[in-house]
Chain A
Amino acid sequence: MLQPSLENYVETDNSESLTVEQAIANLKGNDQGLRYYAAWWLGKFRVREPLAIDALIAALEDQDNQTELGGYPLRRNAARALGKLGDHRAVPALINCLDCSDFYVREAAVRSLGMLGDRACIPKLIKLLDGGLEAAQPILGSPHLAQPYNAVIEALGELGATEAIDLIEVFLEHPNELEQYAAARAMYQLTQNPTYAERLIKALKADQVLLRRAALSDLGAIGYLPAADAIAQTSAENNLKLLALKGILEHHLENHPTDGCYLSETAIKIINLMDGLQERYDS
């Protein structure tokens, strides 16, 4: 009966207030809790100061903050933050993280490399797909696959890595839906073939809300205009639907700049769908 509401973990603006100087100092300090929090905080509040970037890059090699199972929580948070800060100096250090023994550090680094949009990481990302579908099968008793395939495939799509098309295509047949969606999303970005985007529209009717949310985020990311109505109608939180439509609207505006005065019919249509989601008893 207790379905967690997405809101519970996306709406945390009640965070403890820090100053930039304090956060940087905390990140370099000895209190592991404060270091972990500071790394998150610098990303959340988009602190792009060189000192912050340096401290976060250094934290990617931290040895002290380690879990029983060998995970590196501080490295994970630092890697996530660096993706949000848009400083390309972080790229080599993030590429090094792709060899980290901690799956979640690799995953965070892949996502951040995708966000930074620096093609230098493409060969290393492609290497993570080694072994293809066979190596990517679910592992009994493990909550994740051998590599963060999902993130790798999305990043390759985002980076326009057409040389990876063949390697990505096989993932359309992966047993996990999320990997299939990632492959469909990247294949659409790399080929512009609508068949792949249509697969994601179909996923908006998946039984599990988790899958519908993933499809929403993918369709928003590729800005696939014909999905707009299906997005507005799918059963998921309105905030997520709005985010997906925002992606579509901005993709449309990028390709069809307005004359500065009147909006296109298409733009107005998307806005009307968004306005409809502003209503009332939404989730």
Chain B
Amino acid sequence: MTNTTREQELIRAVKEADSAYSLVKAVRILANAHIEAAIPTLIAVFSYNNPGAAELAAGGVVRFGKTAVAQLLNLIDDYNYGGRAWAIRALSGIGDPRAFDTLIEAAETDFSMSVRRAATKGLGSLDWEDMPKDKIPAAQEQAFKTLLLTCQDTEWVVRYSSVVGLQGLATAVVVTYPDLAETIKTHLAQMFKTETDVTVGTRIQLAIQQLA
């Protein structure tokens, strides 16, 4: 059996799975096989409404890193809500700045707190150096503005991840854009005074401690 036939067989096993169990099994094998031609199939699994299979597929896609970003962005709009949510999580995990606008929009407007959580975290851990140099400062300011907004989310879990995002952003800009790093620190100190959730407050405290 040639390599290609075997690859096609693994892909077909996912497409033809007829039970939740066989789907999860087939996706696990395909995700671990790390076959580039399988990226669209793995992305398609995001929309099967099977969280176990989707998690494995997302893990498989994220392992391709930047190679998968164009396809994630291209396929994202045609997807149902569940599928879109997984794509945003995968983009957050990869950290490629081509996903910048998508992450900003998801952080600010998505109705699922898990997606807002993933997107805010993603905004704090983008690989900024992959962005055109002249665009970086404005994008970082935009990320900061969005995180300021999500720091006021009604869900503690989104505020928590926004703090993680802010800490990531401050760390990323401490040399290249020290003014922004200082602004973030000031904001965190401010937020610490008003945050009522003990866990979020503790996370802010840790961010301040680690940025000092």
- Which segment of A2-10, A106-114, A153-161, A178-186 sits at the interface? A2-10
Q: Return A260 CB to nearest CB of chain B, in Å.
A: 9
Whether A263 touches B205, Cβ cut-off 8 Å, given contacts A5-B82, A249-B199, is: yes
Is B37 interfacial (CB-CB < 8 Å)? no
Chain A: interface secondary structure?
loop
- Which segment of B4-12, B84-92, B169-177 sits at the interface? B84-92
Q: Bound complex: CA of A3 vs CA of B20, how far in Å?
A: 8
Contact A11 B49 (CB under 8 A): no
Q: Return B206 CB to nearest CB of chain A, in Å.
A: 6
**Closest chain B residue to A248 by CB distance?**
B199
Contact B161 A280 (CB under 8 A): no
Contact A278 B161 (CB under 8 A): yes
Contact A1 B198 (CB under 8 A): no
* In the complex, chain B residues whose CB is within 8 Å of the CB of A237: 51, 114
Contact B51 A3 (CB under 8 A): yes
Q: Tell which of B52, B202, B205, B209 touches A3, judged by Cβ atoms closer than 8 Å.
A: B52
- Which segment of B53-61, B99-107, B138-146, B180-188 sits at the interface? B53-61
Q: Bound complex: CA of A1 vs CA of B52, how far in Å?
A: 10
Is A238 interfacial (CB-CB < 8 Å)? yes
How many chain A residues sit at the interface, stated as a range, is: 20 to 34
Complex interface residues of chain B between 91 and 131 (CB less than 8 A to chain A): 92-93, 111-114, 117-118, 121-122
* In the complex, chain B residues whose CB is within 8 Å of the CB of A13: 111, 113, 154-155
Q: Bound complex: CA of A192 vs CA of B82, how far in Å?
A: 42
Closest 7 CB pairs of A and B: A280-B93, A281-B58, A278-B121, A283-B51, A246-B199, A1-B20, A278-B161
Q: Return A241 CB to nearest CB of chain B, in Å.
A: 11
Contact A2 B49 (CB under 8 A): yes
* In the complex, chain A residues whose CB is within 8 Å of the CB of B69: none
Q: Return A231 CB to nearest CB of chain B, in Å.
A: 14
Q: Tell which of A242, A274, A281 touches B59, judged by Cβ atoms closer than 8 Å.
A: A281
| 17 residue pairs A–B, Cβ–Cβ below 8 Å | A1-B48, A1-B49, A2-B50, A3-B20, A5-B82, A13-B113, A14-B111, A237-B114, A253-B198, A253-B202, A258-B205, A263-B202, A275-B164, A280-B62, A280-B92, A282-B114, A282-B118
Is B157 interfacial (CB-CB < 8 Å)? yes
Q: Return B30 CB to nearest CB of chain A, in Å.
A: 15
B contact set with A: CB distance below 8 Å? 19-20, 23, 48-52, 54-55, 58-59, 61-62, 82, 86, 89-90, 92-93, 111-114, 117-118, 121-122, 154-157, 160-161, 164, 198-199, 202-203, 205-206, 209
**Closest chain A residue to B61 by CB distance?**
A281
Is A250 interfacial (CB-CB < 8 Å)? yes
Is A268 interfacial (CB-CB < 8 Å)? yes
Whether A262 touches B114, Cβ cut-off 8 Å, given contacts A3-B49, A267-B202, A281-B58, is: no
* In the complex, chain B residues whose CB is within 8 Å of the CB of A282: 55, 89, 114, 118
Q: Return B102 CB to nearest CB of chain A, in Å.
A: 15
Contact B117 A278 (CB under 8 A): yes
Q: Return A256 CB to nearest CB of chain B, in Å.
A: 12
- Per-residue B-contact encoding for A239-283, CB less than 8 Å = 1, 0 else: 100110010011001000010001100011001001100111111
Q: Tell which of A1, A243, A246, A262 touches B209, judged by Cβ atoms closer than 8 Å.
A: A262
Interface core residue of A2, A3, A258, A267 (most chain B CB under 10 Å): A3
Known: A239-B113, A246-B199. 16 other contacts (CB 8 A): A11-B112, A13-B113, A13-B154, A239-B117, A242-B157, A263-B202, A263-B205, A267-B202, A274-B160, A275-B164, A278-B161, A280-B92, A280-B122, A282-B118, A283-B51, A283-B54
Q: Bound complex: CA of A280 vs CA of B122, how far in Å?
A: 8
Q: Bound complex: CA of A253 vs CA of B92, how far in Å?
A: 31
* In the complex, chain B residues whose CB is within 8 Å of the CB of A278: 117-118, 121, 160-161, 164
Q: Return A20 CB to nearest CB of chain B, in Å.
A: 17
* In the complex, chain B residues whose CB is within 8 Å of the CB of A243: 157
Whether A7 touches B114, Cβ cut-off 8 Å, given contacts A1-B49, A2-B49, is: yes
Interface core residue of B49, B112, B198, B199 (most chain A CB under 10 Å): B199
